[in-house]
Amino acid sequence: MKQLENQIAVVTGAGRGIGRAIALKFAAEGADVVCVSRTAENSEKAAAEIRALGRKAWAHAVDVSDAAAVSAAAEKILSECGKVDILVNNAGVTRDGLLMRMSDVDWDAVLNTNLKGAFLFTKAFARAFLKQRSGRIINVASIIGLIGNAGQANYAASKAGLIGFTQSVAKELGSRNITVNALAPGFIETDMTAALGADMKTELLKKIPLNSLGQPDDIAHAALFLAGPGARYVTGQVLTVDGGMVM
C-alpha cells in the first residue's frame, strides 16, 4: 500500500518548483491533491500532471495573502473533497534588496505571502482537522530563516516567523493528533535560484559540504516523510534539507 493512499493534500504554490515537486510526490504515493497557485494557468497545469498519474486533482487560483479569498477557497475545497488530511504551506516570493533601500511595498509583499499566507490557510483548515482529530501541516520555511542573509531581511523575517508559527501551532493542535512541522530548504535549483550568476553559485558550493545545490525532489522526499506514517510522533520540528550548509 502506498504511504498516502486515500488521503487528500492541499499544496500552496503548487504551480512550479518545490510546490510542484511535493504535489507530484504525494500523488505518486497515492494522495489526491488540491493544487493552489496564484494563477489559474499554473494551478491547472500542476493538476493535469497529477491526473496523468491516475490521481484526482483540483486546481484553485488563490492569492494566499487575501483572507477572503483563502476562506472561500477552503470552504470550496472541503465541499469538493469532503475532507483534507495534509496541508503544505509552500507559497512564497522574494523581493530582495538591502535594508536601506527596501520599500514598504517589498517588505509587505514578502511577509504577506510567505507568513500571512501560511497563517490564513492553516486557520482555514484548522477546524476541519480538529473535528476529524487528525492532520498533517507542513510549512516550507528556509535556512535563511535560521541564519539570515544580506539583502533578504524581508525573506529572512518571513521564514523565521514561519518557524515560530510552526512551533506555536504544533503546541496548540497536538492534543488532537495533528502534527505541524517545518522544512528548511537550502539552496535548491528552482526559478528563484536560476538568477544566480556562475560566480555566486561557485561561492555557494564552497559553503555546502555535499558540494551541490539541491533539487526540488529532495524537498519533496522530506515532505513525504513528514506527511507519512513514519512521522506519526514528530511535531514542532524544523527539518533542514541543505546539503549540510547549516550545522
DSSP β-ladder status, 57-61 and 238-241: unpaired
Residue range(s) defining the domain that contains residue 184: 8-241
| Helix%, strand%, coil% for the chain, nearest 5 | 50, 15, 30
DSSP β-ladder status, 135-140 and 86-89: parallel
Catalytic residues: 155
Q: Is residue 246 part of a domain?
A: no
What's the confidence (pLDDT) of residue 168?
Answer: 98
Q: Is residue 16 part of a domain?
A: yes
Q: Is residue 35 part of a domain?
A: yes
DSSP state of 91: -
Q: How many domains does the chain have?
A: 1
Q: Is residue 15 part of a domain?
A: yes
Residue type, 92: G
What's the confidence (pLDDT) of residue 203?
Answer: 87
Rounded CA-CA distance 193/171 in Å is 34
Rounded CA-CA distance 36/22 in Å is 12
- For the chain, which residues score pLDDT lower than 70? 192-193, 195
Residue appearing with cell numbers 511535493: 22
At 146-197, the pLDDT tens digits run 999 999 999 999 999 999 999 999 999 999 999 999 999 999 998 766 767 7
**Pick from 137, 239, 139: nearest CA to 186:** 239
What's the confidence (pLDDT) of residue 56?
Answer: 98
What's the confidence (pLDDT) of residue 192?
Answer: 65
| Neighbour tally for 81: CB within 10 Å | 17
Q: Is residue 28 part of a domain?
A: yes
**Pick from 140, 164, 145: nearest CA to 155:** 145
Q: Is residue 3 part of a domain?
A: no
CATH code (residue 104)? 3.40.50.720
Q: Is residue 247 part of a domain?
A: no
What's the confidence (pLDDT) of residue 177?
Answer: 98
Rounded CA-CA distance 186/203 in Å is 14
What's the confidence (pLDDT) of residue 181?
Answer: 99
Q: Is residue 95 part of a domain?
A: yes
